[in-house]
Amino acid sequence: MPSLHLRDRQILAFKHVMEIGTVSGAARRMLIAQPGVTRLLKQLEHDVGFTLFERVRGRLVPTPEARLFSSRGTEGMERHGALAQYRTADQRA
Protein backbone atom coordinates (compact mmCIF):
# COMPACT_ATOMS: atom_id res chain seq x y z
CA MET A 1 0.00 0.00 0.00
CA PRO A 2 1.41 3.41 -0.92
CA SER A 3 2.38 5.76 1.88
CA LEU A 4 -0.41 7.89 3.29
CA HIS A 5 -0.11 11.15 5.15
CA LEU A 6 -1.02 10.85 8.83
CA ARG A 7 -4.32 12.75 8.44
CA ASP A 8 -5.32 10.54 5.50
CA ARG A 9 -4.59 7.43 7.57
CA GLN A 10 -6.59 8.83 10.49
CA ILE A 11 -9.60 9.50 8.27
CA LEU A 12 -9.30 6.09 6.64
CA ALA A 13 -9.20 4.36 10.05
CA PHE A 14 -12.21 6.40 11.16
CA LYS A 15 -14.20 5.54 8.04
CA HIS A 16 -13.42 1.83 8.39
CA VAL A 17 -14.45 1.77 12.05
CA MET A 18 -17.66 3.63 11.13
CA GLU A 19 -18.42 1.01 8.47
CA ILE A 20 -17.33 -2.12 10.36
CA GLY A 21 -17.91 -1.13 13.99
CA THR A 22 -14.70 -2.65 15.38
CA VAL A 23 -11.06 -1.67 15.58
CA SER A 24 -10.01 -5.23 14.74
CA GLY A 25 -12.09 -5.19 11.55
CA ALA A 26 -10.67 -1.82 10.53
CA ALA A 27 -7.15 -3.09 11.26
CA ARG A 28 -7.69 -6.13 9.02
CA ARG A 29 -8.98 -3.94 6.22
CA MET A 30 -6.04 -1.54 6.56
CA LEU A 31 -3.52 -4.39 6.93
CA ILE A 32 -2.15 -2.95 10.18
CA ALA A 33 -2.24 -4.04 13.83
CA GLN A 34 -5.12 -3.07 16.13
CA PRO A 35 -2.95 -0.74 18.26
CA GLY A 36 -2.16 1.20 15.09
CA VAL A 37 -5.84 1.86 14.41
CA THR A 38 -6.43 2.81 18.04
CA ARG A 39 -3.52 5.26 17.88
CA LEU A 40 -4.83 6.79 14.64
CA LEU A 41 -8.29 7.26 16.19
CA LYS A 42 -6.85 8.86 19.32
CA GLN A 43 -4.76 11.22 17.20
CA LEU A 44 -7.81 12.15 15.13
CA GLU A 45 -9.87 12.76 18.29
CA HIS A 46 -7.11 15.03 19.55
CA ASP A 47 -6.98 16.89 16.24
CA VAL A 48 -10.74 17.42 15.96
CA GLY A 49 -11.23 18.09 19.67
CA PHE A 50 -14.05 15.66 20.45
CA THR A 51 -14.69 11.99 21.19
CA LEU A 52 -15.55 9.92 18.14
CA PHE A 53 -16.61 6.60 19.67
CA GLU A 54 -18.00 5.17 22.89
CA ARG A 55 -17.31 1.51 23.70
CA VAL A 56 -20.54 -0.43 24.28
CA ARG A 57 -20.48 -4.21 24.78
CA GLY A 58 -17.22 -4.64 22.91
CA ARG A 59 -18.19 -2.51 19.93
CA LEU A 60 -17.47 1.09 19.12
CA VAL A 61 -20.59 3.23 18.90
CA PRO A 62 -20.18 6.54 17.07
CA THR A 63 -20.96 9.67 19.05
CA PRO A 64 -23.34 12.22 17.51
CA GLU A 65 -20.27 14.31 16.68
CA ALA A 66 -18.70 11.34 14.88
CA ARG A 67 -21.84 10.86 12.79
CA LEU A 68 -21.79 14.51 11.77
CA PHE A 69 -18.06 14.38 11.07
CA SER A 70 -18.57 11.24 8.99
CA SER A 71 -21.25 12.83 6.85
CA ARG A 72 -19.60 16.22 6.46
CA GLY A 73 -16.02 16.19 7.68
CA THR A 74 -14.63 13.68 5.22
CA GLU A 75 -16.45 14.96 2.12
CA GLY A 76 -13.75 17.45 1.22
CA MET A 77 -10.98 14.90 1.35
CA GLU A 78 -12.92 12.47 -0.82
CA ARG A 79 -13.82 15.19 -3.27
CA HIS A 80 -10.14 15.96 -3.70
CA GLY A 81 -9.32 12.30 -4.22
CA ALA A 82 -7.12 11.77 -1.17
CA LEU A 83 -8.90 8.51 -0.32
CA ALA A 84 -10.22 7.42 -3.72
CA GLN A 85 -7.25 5.25 -4.57
CA TYR A 86 -7.47 3.47 -1.21
CA ARG A 87 -11.18 2.81 -1.59
CA THR A 88 -10.33 0.98 -4.81
CA ALA A 89 -7.57 -1.00 -3.05
CA ASP A 90 -10.00 -1.94 -0.24
CA GLN A 91 -12.52 -3.25 -2.75
CA ARG A 92 -9.83 -5.52 -4.24
CA ALA A 93 -8.90 -6.89 -0.80
At 91, is the pLDDT very low, low, confident or very high (cuts 50, 70, 90)? low
Q: What pLDDT band is residue 7 in, cutting at 50, 70 and 90?
A: confident
Q: Which domains does the chain have, with CATH numbers?
A: 6-87 (1.10.10.10)
The pLDDT-based confidence of 3 (bands split at 50, 70, 90) is very low
pLDDT at 92 over 80: no
Interstrand relation of 59-62 and 53-56 (parallel, antiparallel or unpaired): antiparallel
CB neighbourhood size of 57 (10 A): 5
Residue 51 to residues 2, 30, 44, 62, 80: CA-CA distances in angstroms?
29, 22, 9, 9, 26
CA dihedral 59, 29, 73, 56 (to 10 degrees): 0
* pTM of the model as a whole: 0.73
